[in-house]
Amino acid sequence: MKIKSLDPRVTRSNIDEDTQEGILNPLDHFETYEVFEQRKRGIHHVHVGSVHAPSAEMAVVFAKEQYTRRGQCVNLWVVKTSDVFVTEYEDSDIFETTVNKKYREPDAYKVIDRINAFKERNAKQNA
């Protein structure tokens, strides 16, 4: 039996209903590349997603259509996902800040009082 479909392209392809051809194994894919787009010259590239591709050149060609069609883009980077060195989630406690380090934050500086005083003076003058 051949596959019959409402889509004429499928019907005229004469595909056997029990075909095994073209069925991929779950891991039978190209590797992935991470895509970074730059929306204006001089600003940072921003991660926008990933694509499957057999080479960096193909990854750029695919990334252009996947990620830049609806917005401004002036430059693209692609990087093999496997080349990105990542931290482990179980180590995410390295990013925590302890409570008694408040003095390291900008609002702990003495100058904040003078800035606030300046703002207050200005507000009064403009009132």
Does position 78 interact with another protein (CB under 8 A)? The reply is no
Of residues 36, 39, 48, 58, which one binds another protein by CB under 8 A?
Answer: 58
Does position 57 interact with another protein (CB under 8 A)? The reply is yes
Does position 73 interact with another protein (CB under 8 A)? The reply is no
Distance CA 100, CA 106 (A): 14
Does position 62 interact with another protein (CB under 8 A)? The reply is yes
Does position 69 interact with another protein (CB under 8 A)? The reply is yes
CA distances (Å), 70 to each of 38, 67, 96, 107, in order? Answer: 14, 8, 38, 40
- Looking only at residues 94 through 123 of this chain, which bind another protein when binding is defined by CB under 8 A? none
Of residues 19, 55, 75, 82, which one binds another protein by CB under 8 A?
Answer: 55
Of residues 3, 39, 48, 64, which one binds another protein by CB under 8 A?
Answer: 64
Cα angle 46, 52, 56; round to 5 = 70
User: What count of Cα atoms within 13 Å lies in the side-chain half-sphere of residue 18?
Assistant: 1
Q: Which span sits near another protein by CB under 8 A: 4-12, 80-88, 106-114, 116-124?
A: 4-12
Count of CB atoms within 10 A of residue 99's CB? 5
Q: Which amino acid is at 24?
A: L
Does position 26 interact with another protein (CB under 8 A)? The reply is no
Beta bridge partners of 94: none
Distance CA 88, CA 91 (A): 5
Write out the residues near another protein by the rule CB under 8 A. 7-10, 30, 51-55, 57-58, 60-62, 64-66, 69
